[in-house]
Amino acid sequence: MKILTPDTTISEGPDRMMVEHHLSIVRLVLPKGFTIKRHRSMMTVTVVAIKGKIQFHTDDDVTTLVPGKAVVMQPGEFHWLEAPDEAGQVMVVHGVLAQ
C-alpha cells in the first residue's frame, strides 16, 4: 500500500503525487482565470473534481466539474481545462486499464 499526500505548498499547476510507467496520479491546482492548454494522453484519463468549479472541454463538449463529479476519457482524446469563475482542484489519473 502507498499513502499519497498532497504538497500543500503548490498553489498553481500540477502536484505529481505518483508517477510510474503505466500510472500517474496528479492533483492539479487551477487558480481563478487559469487554463490548461488543449492536449491529449495516450492512456485512459480520469479527472475527478475535488474543490471549486472547473470547466472541462473536449473538442465536442464542455462540462462543469464540481466536487465529486468526474469524467473518463479514452486514449488520444483531446481536452483542456479552465477555471474562469473561481479556483478549483482536480485529481487526474492517467493509466492503462486492465483488459
Domain covering 26-95: architecture: Sandwich (2.60)
Low-confidence ranges of the chain (pLDDT < 50): none
Check if the beta carbon of residue 54 is closer than 8 Å to that of residue 82: yes
* Predicted local distance difference test score (pLDDT) of residue 96: 83
DSSP percent split of the chain into helix, strand, coil, nearest 5: 0, 55, 45
* Predicted local distance difference test score (pLDDT) of residue 98: 66
Handedness of CA 46, 57, 37, 53 (dihedral sign): negative
CA 83/CA 36 separation, integer angstroms: 9
CA 41/CA 4 separation, integer angstroms: 22
Q: Tell if the pTM clears 0.85, that is, is over it.
A: yes
* Predicted local distance difference test score (pLDDT) of residue 99: 62
Looking only at Cα atoms, what is the longest distance across the chain?
A: 39
